[in-house]
Amino acid sequence: MTPEKFEKLRSSTINLFKITDENLYDKTMQLMNYYVQYYDTYITELKAYKKLLMAKEMIYGKLFNDFKFNQNVMLKSKTEIDPLIHNNAEYHEKAIAVLDQEIQVKYLEGIIDSINKMSYNIKNLIDLKTMKMNGN
């Protein structure tokens, strides 16, 4: 997801969680649609995250192999090779992309969790409103 699309998603999420007496019943009906929409987006972004993670690991493996066997530098352990790999521009760029994608995935997980909790909160508000109308 591009940063622009992510910002658009974040701003639309703010409206999702605004509940008033006027929209209480409408939100109840819309929750399933919101859940499906955000869950679909979550699955897509999770897939992209896993692909980025695999690509980063492939770069790591290739660089590790190169530093271990093809360089004229005598490196004895993985701890000596890791700093060289992490300083590689291609690996560093992929690591940043993985972190950005991870933030998006965690954000979507949070939204989905909040939608699940919101359905209970809305139900409780409707029950409370009904009790007040009945005079209990």
Q: What is the pLDDT of residues 56-108, one digit of tens each?
A: 999 999 998 888 787 766 766 778 888 888 999 999 999 999 999 999 999 99
Class of residue 99 by CB neighbours under 10 A (exposed 0-12, middle 13-18, buried 19+): exposed
Q: Which domain holds residue 87?
A: 33-120
Confidence of residue 136 (pLDDT cuts 50, 70, 90): low
69 falls within a domain: yes
Half-sphere CA count of 88, side-chain side, radius 13 A: 18
Q: Does 4 have pLDDT greater than 70? A: yes
Does residue 107 belong to any structural domain of this protein?
Answer: yes
Q: CA 6, CA 12: separation in Å to the nearest integer?
A: 10
pLDDT at 52: 97
Identify the residue with better confidence: 18 or 79: 79
Average pLDDT estimate for 102-118: 90
Give exposure, 1-38, as e/b (b: 16+ Cβ within 10 Å): beeeebeebeeebeebeeeeeeeeeebbeebeebbebb
Judged by phi (left if over 0) then psi (alpha if -120 to 50, else beta), residue 77 lies in beta
**Mean pLDDT over each residue of the chain, to the nearest integer:** 84
Task: Assess contact for 56 and 35: CB atoms under 8 A.
Answer: no
Residue 117: pLDDT band with limits 50, 70, 90? confident
3-state secondary structure of 72: coil
pLDDT, position 33? 81
Confirm whether 109 is domain-assigned: yes
User: How many domains in the chain?
Assistant: 1
Average pLDDT over residues 15-41: 77
Q: Judge whether 96 lies within some domain.
A: yes
* Mean predicted confidence (pLDDT) in 109-124: 81
Q: Distance between CA atoms of 8 and 116, rounded to whole angstroms?
A: 22
Q: What is the pLDDT of residue 131?
A: 76
Residue 85: inside a domain: yes
| Residue 91 covered by a domain | yes
Which residue type sits at 13? Answer: T
Burial 60-78 (b: 16+ CB within 10 A, else e): beebbeebeeeeeeeeeee
The pLDDT value given to residue 116: 82
54 within a domain of the structure (yes/no): yes
pLDDT score for 79:
81
Q: Does any domain span residue 71?
A: yes
